[in-house]
Amino acid sequence: MKTPVTPRLVEHIPIPERPFWKTLRQQKVLLLMSVPFVIHVIIFKYVPIWGWTLAFQNYWPGKSFFDQVWVGFDNFKWLFRDPIFYQVLRNTLAMSLIQLVFGMVSSIVLALIINEVRLVFFKKAAQTISYLPHFISWVVAANLVRDALSTDGGIVNELLMKLHIIKEPIMFLGIPKLFWWIIGASHVWKEVGWGAIIYLAAIASVDPNLYEAAIIDGAGRLRRIWHITLPSIRPIIVIILIMNMGYLLSSGFEQQYLLQNGRVIDYARVFTIYELDYGIKMMRYSFATAVGIFRSVVSLVLVFGANYIAKRMGQERLL
């Protein structure tokens, strides 16, 4: 009987170095197939960067590029001197982090739970119901949230009153400190099922032999989740986390915009709303662009930072 070759050994077989042109010729079909996507990325992701020049002008539409007034870093100075800026930064980061943490945790937990359900009909139904809200536009969803939280017969207040937890209806949307958490909770409600899909797919690809072996070793259900399922989908979790880091400063517009009101404005204004109110709505395109650049640069730093940390911790990484 031959001794089986363990996979570990395969990894150590050195890949012979081939000249560049030979590789190119060999993979030309693959390369050709990717050309449209490269063009797409160049047109939609790189060409618009030219628009960043707006941030250093006092841009006025209708004038040609050479007739614009150049103002250097004035727009950035204005931004950093604006007292609202720090409030906006705080709100954006806080709401993004809440959404990121609770959104991911709830999606992972939901995926684990759905995965453990045996009844196929129930499994399918639960999954469908949980991801349906994802397809509702925020315009509709915000009105649902408003109605649910209403003091005038809203279901949340009615329920709490019936359960004698509260005596008077609480005006949830009118409490500034609560706004971040309402955003977080409604985000979880809307996106939990959708987010779980990718984790379910990852769980499905876990080798069933591992579970069988664990059962033989006497591992219970929770142990199997903890020692097999979670470690197996860890690379996916890390990659999604890194990718989401890039969205920390661009989180949300519709949700905050549609749920906010004057009472909570100090906690509701995020970068996108700030850009709209103090930029585009006032025809200050240059200022809006400056804010956009700030966001892009910080996002880039965050993504690379997260990637670096993942690398140092020996985890899967994006780049």
Binding mask 194-233 for another protein (x = CB under 8 A): ----------------------------------------
284 touches another protein by CB under 8 A:
yes
Per CB under 8 A, the list member of 7, 36, 62, 314 interacting with another protein is 62
Q: How many residues bind another protein (CB under 8 A)?
A: 30
Residue with tokens 């999954």: 127
| Residue among 39, 113, 280, 297 that touches another protein (CB under 8 A) | 280
150 contributes a contact to another protein by CB under 8 A: yes
Q: Which amino acid is at 304?
A: F
Q: Applying CB under 8 A, does 144 fall inside the site for another protein?
A: no
Give the 3-state secondary structure of residue 118.
coil
Q: Does 281 bind another protein (CB under 8 A)?
A: yes
| CB distance 107 to 195 below 8 Å | yes
In the complex, what is the shortest distance from the CB of residue 281 to another protein, in angstroms, rounded to a whole number? 5
From candidates 143, 159, 213, 234, binder to another protein by CB under 8 A: 143
Per CB under 8 A, 277 contacts another protein: yes
146 lies in the binding site for another protein (CB under 8 A): yes
> Residue 164: enclosing H or E segment and its boundaries?
none
190/284 with CB nearer another protein: 284
Phi, psi of 168 (to 5 degrees): -110, 145
CB of 39 vs another protein, minimal distance in Å: 14
Cα 156 to Cα 106, 153, 258, 261, distances in angstroms: 21, 9, 19, 19
Q: What are phi and psi of 314, to 5 degrees?
A: 75, 25
What is the C-alpha to C-alpha distance for residues 249 and 145, in angstroms, rounded to an integer? 24
Terminal Cα-to-Cα distance of the chain (whole angstroms): 43
Q: 107 or 272, CB closer to another protein? A: 272
Does residue 134 interact with another protein by CB under 8 A? no
What 8-state DSSP symbol labels residue 58?
A: E
Q: Nearest-5° angle of CA 93, CA 279, CA 68? A: 130
Helix or strand (DSSP H, E) at 69: strand 69-70
Tell me how far apart the alpha carbons of residues 17 and 24 are, in angstroms, rounded to a whole number: 13
Provide, rounded to whole angstroms, the least separation between the CB of residue 83 and another protein.
10
Between 106 and 190, whose beta carbon lies closer to another protein? 190
14 binds another protein (CB under 8 A): no
| Site of interaction with another protein (CB under 8 A) | 44, 48, 60-62, 84, 143, 146, 150-153, 169, 171, 173-174, 261-263, 265-266, 277-278, 280-285, 287
